[in-house]
A and B are shown apart, each in its own frame.
Chain A
Amino acid sequence: MSNQPATTSSTAVIGPKKFDWGHFVRQYMIIGVLALFVAALAIMTNGNSIEPVNLVNVIRQVSAIGIIGVGMTFVIITLGIDLSVGSILGLSAVVAASLAQIPGGSLVKFQGIDVPVIIAVLAGLAVGAFAGFINGVLIAKFRLAPFIATLGMMSIARGLAYIYTGDGRPFSGLKDDYNYLGQGYLFNDPKQPLSGIPLPVVLFIVVAIIATFLLSYTKFGRYTYAIGGNEVAARVSGIRIPRVTILIYTLSGLLAGLAGVLWSARIGSGNSTLGQGIELDAITAVIVGGTSFKGGIGKIWGTVVGALLIGVINNGLDLLNVSPFLQIVVKGCIIIVAIIIDERKNTKKA
């Protein structure tokens, strides 16, 4: 029943505005869940899990999921899905890494060509954005279902990454300036080598802040929600659906490209298999973070918390020596529980 009881009654919404505790709890429950997990793991690991070094590590591990999740949030708010982000990550990683190799080695892709690191980074981002743009055109102009269009791109981008690396060997021997993006720290105290905030974490925070601004304070953000709320009504209200759709998938591709650059820089090599399966983690982060699979509802901070939750759980299970295979099972359970909660939220809202 889409028509909820109280919606038929105009008396439902009249009267003084009271603070709605139920609503508050449903809205921010995810933060409580995160706190609960952090506390439980802290107890089980005798406090090891909340050592600052470990916490920073957890956030760095989820920064790729988080950055991709931010783009995915826009996509899912408009009732879309982007399955190609993992493959785009891999393609961007190999392209950027190939241009960031120290010249002269025997495994260098482009012998005799030496471009500045910034060009390598921009090339990685451009590849991601372009792949996303193609997704957007397929969905907006050729009216393909997002699932189908991005499933195709998932295969195409991964295939291109394999072809680009030739024999499948990763591009290693990258310049220090490039690796710094993945391995460096902001506010680093020179006397303590691992102090400060890792750069991927910094970029994750910056991306999240910009995206929050886009979603809540710009026309583009209103368009995103409106399309998810009711695409036909949005079009009648003057929104150019194709343009906005293309922008959203381009953004998702761009962020996947950024994650690809950061990840290859972190490990110091560009590998064509990077990012396999990360789309599922990103989607999990988005849904766990309260973005509705029914469109029109979602917040960036929710996705950030969702990504952290995945990181904390993975890390906790690692510290407790739980088998990585079981970790995959746990992740599956989390996404199902999140969707059940989403369903119940939707039926209770009215």
Chain B
Amino acid sequence: MGEYIVEMQGITKRFPGVLALNNVKLNLRPGLVHSLMGENGAGKSTLMKILAGVYTLDEGQILLNDKPVSIESPRDGLANGISMIHQELVFVPELTAAENIYLGRELRDRFGLVSRKSMIDETQKVFDKWNINIDPATQMKELSVAQAQMVEIAKAIAFESKIIIMDEPTSAITEREVERLHAMIRALREAGTAIIYITHKMDEVFAISDEITVFRDGTWVATEKASAMDRDRLISLMVGRELNQLFPKVEAEIGEVVLEVEGLNRGRQVKNVSFSVRRGEILGFAGLMGSGRSEVLETVFGIHPATSGTIKVNGKVVRIREPHQAIEAGLALLTEDRKKTGIMGVLSVRDNMSIAAIDRFSFLGILRRPMIEKECEAQRQALALKTPSLDQLTQNLSGGNQQKVLLSRWLLTDPDILIIDEPTRGIDVGAKSEIHRLMGELAKQGKAIIMVSSEMPEILGMSDRVVVMCEGQLVGEVSRKDATQEKIMELATRFSDEAVA
């Protein structure tokens, strides 16, 4: 047996009109964690989907243990010991954890009938061995994202996969859960499994990787030992240029209070929350996943109406029961889940941009097309949006560019208060720092910005002030100069120990 468990050589993949991968190579050793880095569209996911059999390659070859193999379907991939854990987990929510693990190859009893009991028993064995604390008989829909992910990993283990691909496994789980995931990965590595790890998060890459391969625009750039690389070098390899500052926070003059929320309540998710934000200020909302950050802001915006509380904009009490009332009051909300609540994929970039400001863009119900054209074009240039035309369907843009379209949508309403929930989730480094730069500029123009983020560096780097939430309550506030990761985490986990009692 050679040095490598997998060798991918000269891999080329074309999609209509695009060369997605151009003569790319990747070599994996058993018992190591190999991270793939690169901006969105660099080709990481495409290469992994080829390895897992989701796509077939156009040119090149794959060697498994020195033998050429042809992987035509995910089934071939699994048969060759390759499992992929997708960014958006794929499972049947109504089935139990055990049934999902054995989906498509159910264990049978001696009468040839599906045997729930033996599947649960087998799953329990795997869970016990790997310290997974989940009841195999729980329905998948009852599990958290992190737990569902553990089930997916257990599935890979149950398939005896020697190669496990994880595509952005930490994009939707909390820091504590990331720790658990990483412990799991280390244990798998000990057992000789080759792990391929795709992420956008720098800290994680250095925490978990043995080797790093960087891709850019569908080509292979470099493969190096993680210990031989540092953050700056990695970023410059990814973007092909030096990024002098990750968080270009510009100083903005902080003015009067524009938004004041008092005693806001909604069910168990929002409990007596009060806060305010001033012109020119970036207010960070920190807290663990599920602590109620997004829920508070969605309530302020009228997506879910509040049961009690007052909202004042520029000193005047406003009634907000529906988003259109929030927009009229001068609020804007860029939601967390781009795909589900943000973009209209089959509509053009122009339609997506202009929709929230459509009242301004029409007269007696008739569209003022030249005005729409002019202002959308101006946004496109101001935000350096990469699209061949405003007619392009939004679903054809990359994640970062879709985020820019959504930002434009709200900027066109000229809001006083811009709420951005997870501004840079799942977008590449280049687009990320551009979004940060824009946020700084907007604050400078006198807009109040409220930012929800699960990424600690983003919270610390961008906020003038940070409020921390825990279990639906606002538990503390720290100023920019006092804010540290430890302090915020301490506040964010305040109740979790007592919660049991």
Contacts and interface: CB of A to CB of B under 8 A. Distances in A.
B398 A219 contact: no
Interface stretch (B16-24, B117-125, B490-498): B16-24
A6 B17 contact: yes
A13 interface: yes
Contact of A219 (B218, B335, B359, B389): B359
Nearest to A9: B41
19 contacts: A5-B55, A8-B41, A8-B398, A9-B41, A9-B218, A9-B398, A10-B40, A12-B18, A13-B386, A220-B365, A226-B344, A226-B355, A229-B345, A230-B345, A232-B340, A233-B344, A236-B335, A238-B328, A350-B396
A238 to B, nearest CB: 4
Q: Which of B45, B366, B392, B397 has the most CB of A within 10 A?
A: B366
Contacts of A221: 367
Interface string A200-218: 0000000000000000011
Interface stretch (B269-277, B319-327, B375-383, B436-444): B319-327
A228 B347 CA distance: 9
B20 A9 contact: yes
A323 interface: no
Contact of A5 (B20, B356, B393): B20
A92 to B, nearest CB: 27
B294 interface: no
Contacts of A9: 15, 18, 20, 41, 43, 46, 218, 398
B355 A240 contact: no
A234 B355 contact: yes
Contacts of A218: 362, 365-367
B341 A219 contact: no
Interface of chain A, helix or strand or loop or mixed?
helix
A349 interface: yes
B40 A225 contact: no
A17 interface: yes
B29 interface: no
A293 to B, nearest CB: 12
B398 A10 contact: yes
Contact of A236 (B19, B333, B346, B367): B333
Nearest to B386: A14
A331 interface: no
A238 B39 CA distance: 33
Contacts of B15: 5-6, 9, 12
B344 A296 contact: yes
Nearest to B354: A222
B17 A230 contact: no
Contacts of A232: 340-341
Nearest to A294: B346
Contacts of A238: 323-324, 326-328, 355-356
Contact of B389 (A11, A17, A295): A17
Nearest to B409: A237
Contacts of A220: 365
A6 B344 contact: no
Nearest to A222: B358
Contacts of B20: 5-6, 9, 11
A239 interface: yes
A143 interface: no
A266 to B, nearest CB: 33
Nearest to B431: A10
Nearest to A216: B367
A221 B366 CA distance: 9
B396 A297 contact: no
Given A217-B367, A226-B355, A349 B393 contact: yes
A110 B340 CA distance: 55
A225 B46 CA distance: 31
A6 B15 CA distance: 6
A217 B57 CA distance: 45
Contacts of B175: none
Contact of B358 (A10, A219, A229): A219
A108 B354 CA distance: 55
Interface string A142-178: 0000000000000000000000000000000000000
B351 interface: yes
Contact of A239 (B41, B324, B340): B324
Contacts of B303: 235-236
B41 A296 contact: no
B388 interface: yes
Contacts of A7: 395-398
A15 interface: yes
Contact of A295 (B19, B39, B328, B346): B346
Contacts of B39: 10
The 3 closest A-B CB pairs, nearest first, are A229-B344, A10-B398, A10-B41
Given A22-B16, A236-B342, A349-B395, 5 more contacts: A8-B40, A219-B365, A234-B344, A294-B346, A296-B344
A98 interface: no
A226 B398 contact: no
Contacts of B326: 238
A188 B193 CA distance: 84
A167 to B, nearest CB: 46
B433 interface: no
B377 to A, nearest CB: 14
A333 B16 CA distance: 30
Contacts of B323: 235-238
B401 interface: yes
A220 B386 CA distance: 29
A97 B397 CA distance: 54
A292 interface: yes
A228 B346 CA distance: 9
Nearest to A214: B365
B343 interface: yes
Nearest to B400: A10
B367 A6 contact: no
B8 to A, nearest CB: 18
Contacts of B398: 7-10
Interface in B35-77: 39-41, 43, 45-46, 54-55
B387 interface: yes
Q: Which of B39, B41, B344, B396 has the most CB of A within 10 A?
A: B344
B262 interface: no
Contacts of B346: 228-229, 292, 294-297
Contacts of A219: 358-359, 362, 365-367
Contacts of B347: 225-226, 229, 296
Contacts of A350: 393, 395-396
A10 B401 contact: yes
B341 A233 contact: yes
A11 B218 contact: yes
Q: Which of B16, B54, B362 has the most CB of A within 10 A?
A: B16
A237 B41 contact: no
A349 B345 CA distance: 11
Interface string B307-335: 00000000000000011101110000101
A225 B41 contact: no
A296 B362 CA distance: 21
Interface in A10-49: 10-17, 22
Q: Which of A11, A17, A223, A295 has the most CB of B within 10 A?
A: A11
Contact of A11 (B45, B55, B217): B217
B388 A13 contact: yes
Given A217-B367, A220-B365, A6 B16 contact: yes
A239 B389 CA distance: 25
Q: Which of A5, A14, A294 has the most CB of B within 10 A?
A: A5
Contacts of A234: 344, 355
Given A5-B20, A230-B344, A10 B386 contact: yes
